Structure 1
């Protein structure tokens, strides 16, 4: 009746969680008369308890961000707006939006704060309950000074929370306890790009936990570890995709993503970044010993040589990555062990087999002819790189890559004369070309111009369509 949720009150009484300042005030008002002296006394006790908990956590090396004033301001603004709408029960509002009553309670208590999308849902629920918007099919949040103030408060709260997390991480590193991590009797977890110190190819691990503790793969569930910014650290081959190809030193790997089309985000984006910066990626293979127990085998460092989008027979679109094993010298060993040399391994799924790589021989004459047609001038941006000796520099770029699995032709129609920058952007899928030869930058969806075409150099439209599909655009789609 007074605005505090039952969950928050029960948590405060049981000692499982400190109440928010607002909840504490409501409890004091209801049970102790709510005098100013009583409020101040209980607020001081709450502040001391909160600081003691935070200090203990920091000394133990656990990142424990404090609640920022901006978060408190947002909770206060939300409570004020809630009161404007008549203080409806959270259970009633939850029935009119995609936010649970428990989550709404946490917002009102100041324990958490929503994303902008969740805030929109919350406002829709309030408008529906109070009858300010009676059209259930087209719910619109009517902006008022209160809702604008609430959105501004949310933006400040999210910004302050991000800064607080950074501050606490830096503080935890500097304190004697360091940051939270494995137990003292376990080796520290390595989270980074490249080989793990002391771990050589051929090392066997009994389970995913052992991989995490050794620092080879820091994800207990996900098959790809890393970040979109820095690239992939490691990959555990799952074997769950029937069309994956494992030739030992060359692997064609299907990215992560459940039902529906896979997106170039999270682990898939990390592998794409590794392809761009040629960063090393650790590869782990699952193995099965003679007793049928599943274990894992660290197979060494690979490079993501290529990636592309592909539509499967079930019409689902997936991302595929071609990983090539680096030479022994880059692995830190003289000779790479074979899977059947791993101790205790019997029947091994994914046994390495000898691989014969058939290289595609490119025609230098065809490439030079395309450059000469355009006088070494980029067909996209019009830049001609003049050299000191009087010549010029350009690159011949295949629209549809040669070799498997792309099968492009080494012909004039499948080649473009590009500068180095446009060549990189084209290969990365950041430049796409429509059938009408308009060039679109996928960085901001702007049309950069029209690709120059001459009677002597006609562009293969099917190759352009393949390139668009390869980089995630639906079949027959036009880039905008």
Structure 2
């Protein structure tokens, strides 16, 4: 189940970690110097995010790149239109390390951020850590979905829903690693959670009160 962390962060590792799906990926901490991208879609990472070039024409015609033998980006890739910021506060190296080795604290009091709509702010590291811990294997049925070479897919389910009348906590004790089928069944309250039959990991202590909440207050209550 263990997944190796590279001694030095690489574009290939980040491409897999964030499931970007690029054919070629490169990383530079400062985002201002790279080797050549040779396959497309291609992605360039810096400490906080990435820029994706879907085609060679898009890459070679980008005015922000100084492409010769190597690629110089005087203002850094974060200055390029279309740059995706992956983390507001944490550098990629820190996120990658937390993902593998540290149990995240999460948020006991869920917060909301008002954009166009009102949505609960979730700590994505919480579900990432749980999915990593179970090697993307569903805790209910044991299915592990492969979506590419060395790439797998699972979903994180909050046992006691966040916010609203439920006031569930965004912490690992309230999250299960499940396949999409069982995630839908749980979200639509179609099945009970049998605590004794769940696949478990000694580092993941599920709160039994949350299991009871699902089974007693949510199961078999139709939502439309």
TM-score w.r.t. structure 1 length? Answer: 0.21
Q: What TM-score do the two structures reach when normalised by structure 2?
A: 0.44
Counting helix residues as a fraction of each chain, which structure ranks higher? 1
